[in-house]
Amino acid sequence: MMFQPDAEAMPVEQRAKLQEERLRGLVDRLLAAAGVQAERLRAAGVTSGADVGLADLPRLPVTEKNDLWAAYPFGTLGVPRSEVVVFHGSSGTGGRPTLVGYTRHDLQVWAQVCARALAGAGAGPGSIMHNAYGYGLFTGGLGFHQGAVELGAAVVPVSGGMTPRQITLIRDLQPDILACTPSYAIRLGEALADAGLRPGAGLTLRAGLFGAEPWTAALRARIEELLGLRALDIYGLSEVIGPGVAAECFEAADGLHVNEDHFLVEAVDPVTASPLPEGTPGELVFSTLTREAGAVLRYRTGDISALRREPCACGRTLVKMSKITGRRDDMLVIRGVNIYPSEVERVLLGDGALSPDYLLVVDERGDGRELLALCEYRTVSGPAPADLEARLREVLGVRVGVRVLPAGGVPRTEVGKAVRVVRWTEGEPPVPGLV
């Protein structure tokens, strides 16, 4: 179940040599491209790729989202614009888009790493992949699409939304692989159940690749129960390439194998950017070892995860990253305690009476900052969840107030995903009637 076993199961020392060689190539390409990354390399005393080895990584300059914004739209291409065959990106926060160019070779690499992820989920020629990731500027839809074609599987390019049509296609085409966001997997699973399609009764899905938003082990259990498949995590971002940077294997499903022959990964301290020991959660930083357009050295993702290198049942020797446990920017500081919303989610979803939709309200009225978790019943009403406040206090080390609303009480965005955190300053409450 490996698409490129030579690369995925390569002995670790041999891969390190390959990474070092490719890192030197990346540094040479960046220096030749003469952008901000070249300026910083020269300022750090690097004038040639031959000057650096893997051990020098911590002293090499980092790249941040602001650098991509400052160079928008063509400043970070790194190749003549005529060599770019496609652009992708994200709408980004604050309405400022991030745009990334791909050469023909970049597209090949991207298709291959997505094919690796699909093969790792048990897909192959003959498989049918129902692709409900959005198609367009966003990398999700087209990334998976190209990966499936590369693997020789058949793609159903349904894209996001229009759930009734998705149900018809799943019932009629009987796909074995599902690709979408985890929140949409829940909506789809509930809609399929309403249409009488359940595991063992009309559903043929064997595995799903879910990504593009953070999700918890509890959400995994709920997706697996609803859809009767193995729910696997996949990770990627357009600034690095898109989906396929890392993915879980079907055999272990306990961490995502990073395709580190293409994407050199580090976990660093989110505040100081210094390297952290293996197993310690930190901010993921990637260097694109083989990219031509949009090459980045030590790109700071803002995503928090821990790296682990250990033998895996699947035979891959690629380092594993844990599920993303938070965002550097999402981190809330409540009475001096650092809290990631995902930690609260894990506790809330551990209660079977509650729906996966929740809202965290940072109450900034008055002197202090209080955290309030709004959640809702899965069904019309139910027994009050037991001791949630006590469990939250035990896990987070800080008091969190809990309010349980009727089903549907937590506000949604138009794509159905709950808004996770709002601030309550003076004036109207974020939810009508909240006191």
Q: Which chain residues interact with Zn ion by CB under 5 A?
A: 249, 252, 312, 314, 316
Minimum distance from residue 313 beta carbon to Zn ion (Å): 6
Q: Which is nearer to Zn ion, 186 or 312 (CB)?
A: 312
Judged by beta carbon, residue 62 or residue 312, the one nearer Zn ion is 312
3 state SS of 83? helix
State in angstroms the smallest separation of the CB of 312 from Zn ion: 3
Residue with smaller CB distance to Zn ion, 107 or 253: 253
Q: Which two tokens stand for residue 42?
A: 């020269």
**Structure token pair of residue 242:** 């898109």
Q: Which is nearer to Zn ion, 119 or 293 (CB)?
A: 119
Q: For residues 158 and 249, which CB has a smaller minimum distance to Zn ion in the complex?
A: 249
DSSP line for 379-420 = SS--SPPTTHHHHHHHHHSS-EEEEEEPTT-S-B-TTSPBP-
Q: What is the spatial distance between Cα 333 and Cα 228, in angstroms, rounded to a whole number?
A: 38
Look at strands 198-199 and 177-180 and give their pairing.
unpaired
DSSP, collapsed to helix, strand or coil, labels residue 140 as helix
Instruction: Give the tokens for residue 355.
Output: 């729906």
Helices (H), 176-322: 182-194, 217-227
Q: Considering beta carbons, is residue 234 or 314 the nearer one to Zn ion? A: 314
CB of 321 to Zn ion, least distance (A): 12
Phi, psi dihedrals of residue 305, rounded to the nearest 5°: -160, 165
Q: Determine whether 34 is exposed, middle or buried from the number of CB atoms within 10 Å of its CB (0-12, 13-18, 19+).
A: exposed
Rounded Cα distance between 162 and 81, Å, is 37
Check if the beta carbon of residue 391 is closer than 8 Å to that of residue 385.
Answer: no
CB nearer to Zn ion: pick between 155 and 319: 319
In the bound complex, what is the minimum distance in angstroms from residue 371's beta carbon to Zn ion?
Answer: 37
Question: Closest approach of Cβ 275 to Zn ion, in Å?
Answer: 24
CA dist list (Å): 390 to 244, 350, 386, 428 = 39, 13, 9, 28
CB-nearer residue toward Zn ion: 309 or 412: 309
Contacts of 158 (CB under 8 A, 6+ apart): 130, 131, 132, 165, 166, 169
Half-sphere exposure of residue 176: CA atoms within 13 angstroms, side-chain side: 14
Output phi, psi for 283, to 5 deg.
Answer: -80, 130
Nearest Cα residue to 254 out of 304, 301, 313: 313
Q: Give the nearest distance from C-beta 97 to Zn ion in angstroms.
A: 35
Beta carbon nearer to Zn ion, 88 or 316:
316
Least spacing, CB of residue 299 vs Zn ion, in Å: 25
CB 119 within 8 A of CB 130: no
Report the residue number, 249 or 388, with the smaller CB distance to Zn ion: 249
Least distance from Zn ion to the Cβ atom of residue 309, Å: 12
Shortest gap between Cβ of 252 and Zn ion (angstroms)? Answer: 4
Whole-number minimum distance, CB 335 to Zn ion, in Å? 40
